[in-house]
Amino acid sequence: MREFAIAKNDSGQRVNKFLEKAVPLLPGGMMHKYIRLKRIKVNGKRTDASYKLQEGDLLQLYINDEFFESPKSEESWKKIEKPALDVVYEDENILLANKAPGMVVHADESGSPNTLIANIQAYLYRAGEWNPASEASFAPALCNRIDRNTGGIVIAAKTAEALRILNDAIKARTLTKKYLCVVLGMPPKKQATLEHFLRRDENQKQVEVFDRPVSGAKTARMTYRVLASQNGLSLVECTLLTGRPHQIRAQMAHIGHPLLGDGKYGRNEKNRPYGEFGQLLYSYKLRFSFEEENALSYLDGREFTVRDIGFVRKYFPQYDIK
């Protein structure tokens, strides 16, 4: 018999969700069977898969030891001795990291262990703020993600409660994220709201943009504001009203002003003279807003900004990021 004492970071989860993380070798069908057979109990009593665990609960598992063997693969964070992080803000609940262009947020097909989340977990482990040995199911996690070649603010939750709150706020679109980008040419209006319909092509890892609704396409809305223009380029601030993959890149290209360096939605012959081969896009400003009182309400109304952005200094040195 194995027993889990439910701590704060593991509370609030359904029994089945907790077990998927804490006992990953236990197949889902067998887990539900064991719950029905009362071989999985809470506080010595029969439970349901939907029961939400509370702090102080004891989850008892009368199952074979083979399901508790450690996975063979080593966690990526263990391989990082000196975490590389640019911390914008940090408290006991969250960490805002300024991700450099070129770094991936999670492991991808390259298999590199040097991901943003691995660096964050290594940083928190070495700072004594997270010990996986004392956590049954929770690990610090990212609440948002940005493309490899896009830089900017990424939110990491240090606690399960913060993760739930931030995920809900992102779904409710109460957090405001603003981006800076350099586009080719001068957009037709100084500022405007763009609405298109985006359909993802999984084979090409790219989105198609339509002016009218089509089958399989989702509405994509954003606002843009031209901040400066010179030498055939414009510095543009974009605010997402929906969160679609490649949204800014695809929509700006669709109106005839692709991002400088973007070979997927622009053209490399236009990028080559500038020596740019990765989209010049930065998630530079984040503002917190919550609909209801919660454990992160102290952040309500607070805004965080990255002011030192390489491509802004390079192409618009006179512009002062505020």
What pLDDT shows up at residue 95?
98
Given a cut of 70, whether residue 72 has pLDDT beyond it is no
The residue whose two tokens read 């809470």 is 42
* Cβ-Cβ contacts under 8 Å for 49 (sequence gap 6 or more): 14, 15, 16, 31, 32, 35
Given a cut of 80, whether residue 112 has pLDDT beyond it is no
Q: Which of 162, 175, 177 is nearest to 124 (CA)?
A: 162
pLDDT, tens digit (0-9, with 9 covering 90-100), for 208-262: 999 999 999 999 999 999 999 999 999 999 999 999 999 999 999 999 999 999 9
Q: At 321, list the tokens.
A: 């990021």
**Which is the CATH superfamily of the domain at 176-315?**
Pseudouridine synthase (3.30.2350.10)
Torsion angle in degrees (nearest 10) through CA of 212, 216, 219, 220: -100
CATH 3.30.2350.10 domain span(s) along the chain = 76-172, 176-315
What pLDDT shows up at residue 74?
46
> What pTM value is reported for the model?
0.82
Pick the CATH number of 2-68 from 3.10.290.10, 2.60.120.260, 3.30.70.3270, 1.20.970.10: 3.10.290.10
What pLDDT shows up at residue 111?
61
What is the average pLDDT score of the chain?
91
The residue ranking higher by pLDDT, 13 or 255, is 255
Mean pLDDT over 65-87 rounds to 75
pLDDT, tens digit (0-9, with 9 covering 90-100), for 145-165: 899 999 999 999 998 889 989
What pLDDT shows up at residue 68?
74
- Classify domain 76-172 by CATH number: 3.30.2350.10
What pLDDT shows up at residue 73?
39
Torsion angle in degrees (nearest 10) through CA of 252, 107, 275, 285: 50
DSSP lists the bridge partners of residue 225 as 191, 237
Given a cut of 60, whether residue 71 has pLDDT beyond it is no
pLDDT, tens digit (0-9, with 9 covering 90-100), for 166-215: 999 999 999 999 999 999 999 989 999 999 999 998 887 899 999 999 99
Contact 291, 165 (CB under 8 A): no
Given a cut of 90, whether residue 139 has pLDDT beyond it is no
Given a cut of 80, whether residue 309 has pLDDT beyond it is yes
Given a cut of 90, whether residue 78 has pLDDT beyond it is no
* Cβ-Cβ contacts under 8 Å for 288 (sequence gap 6 or more): 169, 175, 296, 299, 300, 301, 302, 303
Q: How confident is the model at residue 275 (pLDDT cuts 50, 70, 90)?
A: very high
